[in-house]
Amino acid sequence: MRVDVMIIGAGAAGMAAAIKAKEEGAEVLLVERDDRTGGILNQCIHNGFGLHYFKQELTGPEYAERFQEKMDKLGIKAVTNAYVKQIGNREVILVTEKGIERIEVGALVYAVGARERPFGSLMIPGDRPSGIFTAGVAQRLINIENHLPGKRALILGSGDIGLIMARRLVLEGMEVVGVVERLPYPGGLLRNVVQCLEDYDIPLYLSSTVVEVRGRERLEEVVVAKVDESFNPIPGTEKVFKIDTLVVSAGLIPQLKLVDSLVNKNPTSKGVATSNIGQTSTDWIFSAGNCTAVFDLVDYVTYEGETAGKYAAKFVKGEVKGGRIPIKPGKNAAVVHPLWYIPIEPLTLYIRVKRPMEKGRLVAGKFERVFEDLVPSEMLRVRIPDRYLEGLDEIVVSIEEVI
Ligand SMILES: Cc1cc2nc3c(=O)[nH]c(=O)nc-3n(C[C@H](O)[C@H](O)[C@H](O)COP(=O)(O)OP(=O)(O)OC[C@H]3O[C@@H](n4cnc5c(N)ncnc54)[C@H](O)[C@@H]3O)c2cc1C
């Protein structure tokens, strides 16, 4: 079998890519290992999705449904329960209920999302009882499988997922004794700190971490301690929390496994490196969504998916031409995406700062703009007009603190 554009993963990025590739005239194959489209959106039943894209606040499943409806109208039928096992030279090995198939592709859009950092990788000493869940697993248990993970919980990590789960557990009748964060500031969006913790009187313990886990069969207690600037526990600050559930929300890691040996990585986001049209270092492979960089908002993932889908289809038609200008992370830029600019599409930059700043001047090529209240947890999305990039042979992106 041969298709023009194959898309792996039917989350927000993959669905958007499929729609745009089809609108561009390509024959499209969208494959998804789950039994439905939507990806992580299916288990995010809270609202807060689509404010940029639809100017409306939707739940995750509602947001996904809008794209499913659009796919139905265009006649795009995702192949579900289909797992991509391997990617070769312009070919993909797909495992479905019918068997193993080799598919030749004109272009590929890799949109497989991110995975959660597991508890084991945190190297926390102590016992290994039941009752320890990653936030995504706890969310799936509650929102999809209708099971409560326990009665009394502590959340480790104050990223958006940890904050949202703290509120979710309380709404479902559990007690949440606190959220513990090793950084001196919350890891998630400010609106989530207010709406998920402050509104429910859930304490947030900053500059703190779990230093020991105790329990024979089931989790019985954890020890939390304050940490210094290098995240080393400070002796004498230990506090014991009697809980039966520890929810670990220690961040997302872009999934790279299938393309590990095929494409360059973005050292700042730890994801697939792409240009502003979603093209990777291998010309026929495009990529978008959380496997390129972990985005705060699904709207951004959708924009990126649309661009990758559109240009994957154009690539098949031989319409992607032009040199690439490298984009280089400079001072105070912790994450910069994309890493190349091809002047056939305007440049939209996604940036995370290294540390909080009251005021910072973003410099990208000849472009400069001052932003206020910059924090690492909130991604900056900035469209850079072409005139600021003309004549450059590289674009350095930095943020200078304005005092
Ligand atoms: C708990 C939580 C809360 C969030 N809250 C908000 C919010 O309030 N507002 C907001 O805007 N955003 C929020 N987000 C972020 C947003 O939901 C995500 O950024 C976005 O949905 C990610 O889309 P994606 O397509 O990149 O990845 P995913 O949704 O992860 O989709 C990737 C898909 O690829 C499939 N796949 C992976 N490997 C294979 C393979 N080998 N073969 C076939 N298929 C494969 C997976 O099954 C999956 O369906 C939240 C995210 C989480 C996790």
Q: What is the CATH number of the domain that holds 168?
A: 3.50.50.60
Q: Tell me, yes or no, whether 46 and 84 share the same domain.
A: yes
* Amino acid symbol at 285: I
Distance, CA of 16 to CA of 288 (rounded, Å)? 10
Q: Tell me, yes or no, whether 228 and 349 share the same domain.
A: no
Q: Tell me, yes or no, whether 229 and 259 share the same domain.
A: no
Residue 322 has pLDDT above 90, yes or no: no
Q: What is the pLDDT confidence band of residue 403, given thresholds at 50, 70 and 90?
A: confident
Q: Tell me, yes or no, whether 132 and 67 share the same domain.
A: no
CA distances from 51 to 300, 349, 382 (A): 11, 19, 17
The atom of ligand 1 lying closest to the CA of 113 is 27
Closest CA to 84 of 56, 112, 59: 112
Final residue in a domain of this structure, among 283, 305, 321: 321
Q: For a substitution probing ligand 1, which of 37, 44, 101 has the most ligand atoms within 8 Å of its CB?
A: 44
Residue 190: the pLDDT is 86
Number of domains in the chain: 3
Average pLDDT over residues 49-56: 97
Q: Tell me, yes or no, whether 261 and 113 share the same domain.
A: yes
Q: Tell me, yes or no, whether 315 and 336 share the same domain.
A: no
Q: Tell me, yes or no, whether 240 and 260 share the same domain.
A: no
Q: Tell me, yes or no, whether 4 and 99 share the same domain.
A: yes
Domain residues for the domain of 6 are 1-117+251-321
Residues in contact with ligand 1 (CB, 6 Å cut-off): 8-14, 31-34, 39-41, 44, 48-49, 83-84, 111-113, 136, 139, 160-161, 164, 289-290, 295, 297-299, 301
Q: What is the pLDDT confidence band of residue 286, given thresholds at 50, 70 and 90?
A: very high
Average pLDDT over residues 75-87: 97
Q: Tell me, yes or no, whether 113 and 255 share the same domain.
A: yes
Cα radius of gyration (the chain)? 22
Q: Tell me, yes or no, whether 292 and 313 share the same domain.
A: yes
Which two structure tokens, joined as six digits, stand for 225?
Answer: 């301690």
- Own/partner pairs, 127-131, CB within 8 angstroms, 24+ separation: 127/213, 127/214, 127/215, 127/216, 128/213, 129/213, 129/214, 129/215, 129/216, 129/217, 129/218, 129/219, 129/220, 130/217, 130/218, 130/219, 131/215, 131/218, 131/219, 131/243, 131/244, 131/245, 131/246
Which two structure tokens, joined as six digits, stand for 78?
Answer: 């995702």
The atom of ligand 1 lying closest to the CA of 289 is 26
Final residue in a domain of this structure, among 250, 267, 295: 250
Q: Tell me, yes or no, whether 333 and 358 share the same domain.
A: yes
Q: What is the pLDDT confidence band of residue 9, given thresholds at 50, 70 and 90?
A: very high
Distance, CA of 324 to CA of 369 (rounded, Å)? 24
**Are residues 128 and 213 in contact, defined by beta-carbon separation less than 8 angstroms?**
yes
Ligand 1: distance of its center to the CA of 35 in Å?
15
Final residue in a domain of this structure, among 232, 250, 268: 250
Ligand 1: distance of its center to the CA of 14 in Å?
10
Ligand 1: distance of its center to the CA of 301 in Å?
9
Give per-residue pLDDT as tens, 162-206. Answer: 999 999 999 999 999 999 999 999 998 888 999 999 999 999 999
Ligand 1: distance of its center to the CA of 391 in Å?
37
Give per-residue pLDDT as tens, 364-381. Answer: 999 999 999 999 989 999
Q: Tell me, yes or no, whether 125 and 246 share the same domain.
A: yes
Average pLDDT over residues 146-160: 96
Residue 258: the pLDDT is 97
